[in-house]
Chains A and B, each alone.
Chain A
Amino acid sequence: AQSVAQPEDQVNVAEGNPLTVKCTYSVSGNPYLFWYVQYPNRGLQFLLKYITGDNLVKGSYGFEAEFNKSQTSFHLKKPSALVSDSALYFCAVVDNFNKFYFGSGTKLNVKP
């Protein structure tokens, strides 16, 4: 079955340290990959996407993600975390039939 996995329910990191939020997928073909962020009492906001080309994608608020086809992963990264980055992060994958698959979300806690 096609799926998206975010193996960590929660990630804790100190402000100023690098952060990584993991995402792996099991979707056939050449899927498109997305990261979204959700702040409390808000809808999801688009951060970045991989369609084709360079495996390292840069997005909003200093976030970036690296597509690794062999490991079927699309981990979200940021070199230096801010307290304001604390939120819920969702990985999403869209297959070649426009079918959407979302992960269950990872709560990022950035402590001062």
Chain B
Amino acid sequence: ETGVTQTPRHLVMGMTNKKSLKCEQHLGHNAMYWYKQSAKKPLELMFVYSLEERVENNSVPSRFSPECPNSSHLFLHLHTLQPEDSALYLCASSQARTASYEQYFGPGTRLTVT
């Protein structure tokens, strides 16, 4: 369970705040992912990084800005969020961005936008 860590675990922020979510993987993987999990909805894949290059951006609003400085770290920078952005944000990694590899997930950051 310590293969992928996320901080903070809980975050409450106002609509005008700027904050960042951090993800770190200790598995030597080359691909990392950000997901949004809302109740009773399918997991929404937000961003995919492969070898530190963003390879997928699924129509995510610009108020979410990802950053991948190296293969072990992934950030999600947040600014001027909306209440509907409140959700559990999950980070995941996989050995490579290849369909056959399973993903390893962190525990998530529970975000509340007030």
- Chain A interfacial positions (CB closer than 8 Å to B): 4, 9, 31-32, 34, 36, 41-46, 49, 51, 90, 92, 94-96, 98, 100-105
Bound together, the chains give a CA A101 to CA B45 distance in angstroms of 8
Q: A43-B105, A44-B105 are in contact. Are A4 and B99 (CB under 8 A)?
A: no
Per-residue interface assignment for chain B, residues 89 to 106, with 1 indicating a CB less than 8 Å from any chain A CB and 0 otherwise: 010100001111011111
Of all chain A residues, which has the CB nearest B96?
A98
Please state if B107 and A104 are interface contacts (CB–CB under 8 Å).
no
Bound together, the chains give a CA A103 to CA B43 distance in angstroms of 7
Q: A90-B43, A100-B45, A104-B41 are in contact. Are A43 and B107 (CB under 8 A)?
A: yes
Bound together, the chains give a CA A98 to CA B102 distance in angstroms of 12
Main secondary structure of the interface of B (DSSP, over half): loop
Total A-B pairs in contact (CB under 8 Å)? 51
Bound together, the chains give a CA A76 to CA B6 distance in angstroms of 29
A104 contact from B1, B42, B103, Cβ within 8 A: B42
Q: Besides A44-B90, A49-B100, A100-B45, 11 other CB < 8 A contacts? A: A31-B99, A42-B1, A43-B90, A43-B108, A44-B43, A44-B92, A46-B104, A90-B43, A98-B98, A104-B41, A105-B40
Q: Which 6 A-B residue pairs are closest in the complex by CB-CB distance?
A: A43-B105, A102-B43, A94-B99, A46-B102, A44-B105, A32-B99
- Chain B interfacial positions (CB closer than 8 Å to A): 1, 4, 6, 40-43, 45, 90, 92, 97-100, 102-108
Q: Which residues of B contact A103 (CB under 8 A)?
A: 42
Please state if B104 and A9 are interface contacts (CB–CB under 8 Å).
no
Q: Which residues of A contact B100 (CB under 8 A)?
A: 32, 49, 51, 94
Of all chain B residues, which has the CB nearest A3?
B42
Q: Which residues of A contact B6 (CB under 8 A)?
A: 43
Q: Which residues of A contact B99 (CB under 8 A)?
A: 31-32, 94-96, 98
Of all chain B residues, which has the CB nearest A51?
B100
Of all chain A residues, which has the CB nearest B107?
A43
Min CB gap B35→A, angstroms: 8
The residue among A49, A98, A102 with the most chain B CB atoms within 10 A of its own CB is: A98
Please state if B42 and A102 are interface contacts (CB–CB under 8 Å).
yes
